[in-house]
Structure 1
Amino acid sequence: MSATPPSAPATNAAGALSRHQVVAWRNAMFVIFALCGLALASWVSRLPAVRDELGASTLDMGVLIFGLSFGSILGLLVSSHIIARLGARTTMRWGFVIAPIGLASAGLAATVGPSFPVIFVGLAVFGAAFSICDVGMNVSGAANERALGRAIMPIYHAFFSFGTIVGAGLGALAEALDVPIAAHIGIIALVIVALGQVSLRFLQDENFLADGDEPVADDDHSKSWRGRLSIWRDPRTLLIGVIVLGMAFAEGSANDWLTLAMVDGHGVSGTVGALMFGIFVTAMTVGRLSGVFLLDRFGRVPVLRGSAVLAIIGLVIVIFGPSAEIAIVGIVLWGLGSSLGFPVGMSAAADDPKTAAARVSAVATIGYCAFLVGPPVIGLLGEHFGILRALLVVLVLVVAAGLASGAAREPKNPTVAEA
């Protein structure tokens, strides 16, 4: 990241950003995505310890995870309106204070008491602020793609995965050393606030003008609540939402349940379960880093369809594999297959800068329905059939995502030029 944050407005007198500003913006986005991954994985990696502290059943844990999903949906429903009023950068500045407070509150309540209701509320606050930041990050990231003149969204999401790798590793270490949940999560929250506020100083206005651009007037999708909500009537928006829904479910089910599935379904220890979650996010990171090359070479649609096939094969191996060692192969394929659906869907949703915030918000809301519906559904099925068998429901949505992949096809006159 650049040593000195840009102090000038997002657009200079000529209407364009300098190369220094664009690169600093890009590097700041790397850090922001990584911090979000760190936050989420830090909590997920301690779920076995949270369950033990609460003495909770599988169904109880599904309800608890629902708190995070519930907050996320609420945040997504208002995200485009908040971003339209404040801008992505200011929205994220607030989110990077509120989200860590909710996360730290949940960690404290898991240790002191412990208190199931307080954890639920803390996770709901964290989820709401986190999801609003998520939309802001993707809107800002898509704008930075336009400024850079190349596709880079999968790399941003790879940095999210880098953050989850670090979070999973620290969680496994904290689990092995028996570090109290409150201490572990509290430190992580402080790190996120500090680094997040520094990084946000380098972001630029998502409505910048590139060289040669003409100012874009507000349209019905950006100037009113009703106009922004009208984006939901667009068939392409809904189909991209199906892609993100299926792939987010594939990714989110691992975030929510992989650790517990390996502990309960394959008989590994809590520490090994956390490490296997680390393998999953590592595979996702590899998939996202290689995704830019694959997308440039083959385009969005073939890559998304191939990703769906990998995810399906991986899930089958994890669910039906006879041993934890064989399940590792499935975890790798599951992670690779899940890696590109969300970032490619976000990039496709932001193809038109005039409707980017509204469309990204709508697509993300559809995708996050996986996080809203998924935890209690898998928890309910897991209570009766086991967590591994409950993961079969993920296959249906991944198949649907593969079938809807055509909606993500690049526009004939793309906004982002090839590198």
Structure 2
Amino acid sequence: MASTQSERATARWAAAAVMAVFFANGFAFANWASRIPTVKYTLDLEPHEVGLILLVGSLGSLLAMPLAGRVIERLGSATAAVVSGVVAVAGMGAAVAAVPAGLPLGVAGGLLVAMAGIGALDVSMNFAGTHVERAIGRAIMPWFHGFFSLGTVAGAGMGTLLSRAGVAITVHIWLALAVMLVVVLVGVRGFPRVPRRDPLPAATVATTAPATPATRATPGRGYLRAWLEGRTWLIGLVVLAAALTEGAANDWLALGISEGFDVPEHEGAFGLTVFMTAMTVMRFAGTWLLDRFGRVAVLRTCAGLAIAGLAVFGFAPSLPFALVGAVLWGLGAALGFPVGMSAASDDPLHAAARLSVVSTIGYSAFLVGPTLLGLLATHVGYRHALLAILVPLVIGLLVTGAMAAPEPARDSADTATGATVAE
């Protein structure tokens, strides 16, 4: 009994640690996103130029994420998260320093480094989260992403207030980055420890069953094979649609409101806060919804909400209607990414490889999205350009059935082991 209580306490501490890092990542990113209008106006950029800068940042994530799984296996998710966080802070700090200096190329270069760090941190914290989820035995991945959303709400709210107060972007973002780094350094102390070069945890907080030949991983096995798996690609497409839906709001919603309705930039930041609040609510409700209705039904409903919300936002005749659309959009965008991470990890033996593949496919949204939307916005405006996201949303809706857990994955999950806590 004492052992069981200790194991539960260990699992709760690990969950809290992972949630803290999710929060910190979202907090730093949203502070940056809330000041994109400031970057545009300070540097006097055209929409397509903003898109190109964001594109360069996305390249950083795409370069880092395919390697993240191997780095995690060799260094552990805690060490990988710390290194990733430091890289993200250094890059973002350099990017915002280039804004008052009038150096668009400096902003782009800083974002390249920053988004490489954020992308690798994303894989590290999701990897840790899947092991905690398996140890607890519930679909709590939406809660982790809910804390990311809480971080985005706090970050966007902070951005709204500091933008309205006229605080310099460098002071604002450096403060946010300091908060992020401190939380990451403290949070990773509770990350689950997984044997290096082995994506399957060998120790557990839920069982002490020994590893069998069927569950023992081979070092480095499965990375190339994961890129050839049909189900992994279909999961990646659902995550891609979700990432486009969420990422388009992060990059363009504030500008869509401030320029589309000719209002001050802090009102655009408020609209982004509304969107992120809706996402947060849905993510915390997500575990109950998934337990009750299952992945496929919930994700199809979310896709419908996102489609409706984008349409309302794009065609809204006034700001209040646009905010209603932002709420529906946020509710619909909330669960695709976290559920995709869980689906990619149904078989713990290949979790690290498949997470890297699915994350890379998902983050390719940030490669295509900023450039495409920036070019469209030049001709039709920001709000109407965002309607292009309806296309991947419909495609994602059509392949949502791939998110259902296969029977072998369930059996594997039942016999899979959990993780001990990092010292």
TM-score (norm 2): 0.91
Separation (CA, whole Å) in 1 of partners of 2:53 and 2:327: 27
**What 5-or-longer segments of structure 1 have no aligned partner?**
1-13
Conserved? CA contact 2:347–2:413, under 8 Å: no
Q: Which residue of 1 aligns with 2:417?
A: none
Further displaced range: 202-211 or 367-376: 202-211
Percent identity among equivalent residues?
Answer: 42
Aligned residues: 402
Are 2:307 and 1:312 equivalent residues in the alignment? Answer: yes
Separation (CA, whole Å) in 1 of partners of 2:218 and 2:367: 27
Are 2:188 and 1:188 equivalent residues in the alignment? Answer: no
Structure 2 residue matching 1:110: 3-state secondary structure: coil
Give the alignment partner of residue 74 of structure 1, picking from 63, 71, 78: 63
Q: Which residue of 1 aligns with 2:421?
A: none
Conserved? CA contact 1:146–1:415, under 8 Å: no
Residue 213 and residue 400 in structure 1: after superposition, are their counterparts in 2 closer, same or farther (change >3 A)?
A: farther
Q: Which residue of 2 aligns with 1:209?
A: 203
Separation (CA, whole Å) in 2 of partners of 1:218 and 1:264: 57
Conserved? CA contact 1:216–1:354, under 8 Å: no
Taking the TM superposition and a 5 Å limit, the aligned residue runs for 1:370-389 are 370-389=365-384
Are 2:128 and 1:132 equivalent residues in the alignment? Answer: no
Conserved? CA contact 1:35–1:192, under 8 Å: yes
Shift, 1:213, TM fit: 3.0
Taking the TM superposition and a 5 Å limit, the aligned residue runs for 1:230-245 are 230-245=225-240
Are 2:212 and 1:223 equivalent residues in the alignment? Answer: no
Q: Which residue of 1 aligns with 2:260?
A: 265
Structure 1 residue matching 2:190: 3-state secondary structure: coil
Shift, 1:267, TM fit: 2.2
Q: Which amino acid aligns with 2:336?
A: G
Q: Which amino acid aligns with 1:372?
A: L
Shift, 1:224, TM fit: 3.2
Separation (CA, whole Å) in 1 of partners of 2:338 and 2:74: 25
Separation (CA, whole Å) in 1 of partners of 2:373 and 2:47: 9
Q: Which residue of 1 aligns with 2:401?
A: 406
Structure 1 residue matching 2:263: 3-state secondary structure: coil
Q: Please list the CA deviations of residues 119-165 of structure 1 after superposition, one character each: whole Å capped at 9, or x if unmatched.
A: 11111111001111111111110000111121110000000000000
Please provide the CA RMSD for this pair. 1.9
Give the alignment partner of residue 341 of structure 1, picking from 336, 341, 350: 336
Further displaced range: 156-165 or 183-192: 183-192
Shift, 1:255, TM fit: 0.5
Are 2:39 and 1:42 equivalent residues in the alignment? Answer: no
Shift, 1:216, TM fit: 6.0
Separation (CA, whole Å) in 2 of partners of 1:58 and 1:73: 23
Taking the TM superposition and a 5 Å limit, the aligned residue runs for 1:79-228 are 79-111=68-100, 113-206=101-194, 207-210=201-204, 211-215=207-211, 223-224=219-220, 227-228=222-223
Shift, 1:328, TM fit: 1.0
Q: Which residue of 1 aligns with 2:322?
A: 327
Separation (CA, whole Å) in 2 of partners of 1:408 and 1:109: 42
Structure 1 residue matching 2:98: 3-state secondary structure: helix
Give the alignment partner of residue 346 of structure 2, picking from 335, 351, 373: 351
Separation (CA, whole Å) in 1 of partners of 2:214 and 2:85: 28
Q: Which residue of 1 aligns with 2:359?
A: 364
Structure 1 residue matching 2:99: 3-state secondary structure: helix
Separation (CA, whole Å) in 2 of partners of 1:217 and 1:131: 33
Are 2:295 and 1:295 equivalent residues in the alignment? Answer: no
Separation (CA, whole Å) in 2 of partners of 1:165 and 1:147: 29
Separation (CA, whole Å) in 1 of partners of 2:295 and 2:256: 32
Separation (CA, whole Å) in 2 of partners of 1:234 and 1:81: 19
Residue 131 and residue 17 in structure 1: after superposition, are their counterparts in 2 closer, same or farther (change >3 A)?
A: farther
Conserved? CA contact 2:348–2:413, under 8 Å: no
Conserved? CA contact 2:216–2:349, under 8 Å: no
Shift, 1:79, TM fit: 1.1
Q: Which amino acid aligns with 2:281?
A: V
Q: Which amino acid aligns with 1:158?
A: G
Separation (CA, whole Å) in 2 of partners of 1:313 and 1:171: 27
Separation (CA, whole Å) in 1 of partners of 2:289 and 2:137: 17
Residue 217 and residue 179 in structure 1: after superposition, are their counterparts in 2 closer, same or farther (change >3 A)?
A: farther
Structure 2 residue matching 1:278: 3-state secondary structure: helix
Separation (CA, whole Å) in 1 of partners of 2:393 and 2:88: 29
Q: Which amino acid aligns with 1:293?
A: W
Q: Please list the CA deviations of residues 247-269 of structure 1 after superposition, one character each: whole Å capped at 9, or x if unmatched.
A: 11001000010001111222222
Residue 391 and residue 414 in structure 1: after superposition, are their counterparts in 2 closer, same or farther (change >3 A)?
A: farther
Separation (CA, whole Å) in 2 of partners of 1:69 and 1:221: 32
Q: Which residue of 2 aligns with 1:249?
A: 244
Separation (CA, whole Å) in 1 of partners of 2:356 and 2:168: 36
**What 5-or-longer segments of structure 2 have no aligned partner?**
195-200, 415-423
Separation (CA, whole Å) in 2 of partners of 1:55 and 1:221: 53
Conserved? CA contact 2:150–2:277, under 8 Å: yes
Shift, 1:67, TM fit: 2.0
Shift, 1:228, TM fit: 0.9
Shift, 1:189, TM fit: 1.2
TM-score (norm 1): 0.92
Separation (CA, whole Å) in 1 of partners of 2:219 and 2:251: 37
Q: Which amino acid aligns with 2:146?
A: A
Residue 414 and residue 116 in structure 1: after superposition, are their counterparts in 2 closer, same or farther (change >3 A)?
A: farther
